[in-house]
Structure 1
């Protein structure tokens, strides 16, 4: 079912490098062009922000959270960096883990791991289940290159199950009577059993 209103989507990523920030910015611009209401920190720099409360409020109100895979994102989300590094992402990842713990069925459908060009599935944090749950590989910033992700964000699955059809009429099988004129007689002898079929052949089964 196509979503009536533009989905509100929070983008969670690390500032690995200027190039990575630009890539995430270009990706976000592409999604906005597809009528996706993107929440990206780079578009909220006009005023001084309390980024922790900003993230808490926007993640809570989002329909989806995109976690952008990178080596730095994985290490920060898994606590493999110092407490001084990527503080914002460490706080966001902690919040996402908390949400999953509180209501896993809901947040499993809202948190979408995304792999952009040049990155690998192995860069998805382990708590987001890179191998045992869905992730979304974007090959290029086009509708075709991001189709699997766009289908989820816009509520347009690739296949729709048809309506239930009519139950087939399957009457019970009737037993088939033996052909007439073929009476079987068992004759026991010391050498075995002879099946004599009138009108047919004789079979001898030796012991």
Structure 2
């Protein structure tokens, strides 16, 4: 079994950080409550250097924030696009980006829901249990407009579902009960300074 899949295809070796990150600049991550996170994103219609530069910035921003995925509206851009560098439950690493992604509907009879911890870079420091299907298949395009299909299980399936939710204007708090949502926001308030201090230190480390 290959240990790394890039854009849904197995590769023999891959660096610790996606090469895109070396070209990127760090952008501010939007936080829950900001309008861009709570409305559906527009389809990407222009493929070119601006889109490639946005993807580069999103990879670096994701690594600085120690995330497994990052949607474009998390850097304030309301386009249907996300990047990811995420392991599945078997330790296989998945790296890539997906433009205009659509999750394939799964047969309810054949899917299992996993109720596991989930966090979000736009709710810094909070972790809550969120039920998600144990498998996901996403279809979309790459930055050149070529079709891509990505399949994930376990934690990577969770990542694909979480990032697609973002593009639909939904954060994971929207899937929680009122009490759990309040708990998550309390966690974020308590840990926010610590999270931002780590991000600042990572900016120094990654740009040094």
TM value normalised by structure 2? 0.25
| Greater relative CO, 1 or 2 (CA 8 Å, sep 6+) | 2
Determine which structure has more spread, i.e. the larger CA radius of gyration: 1
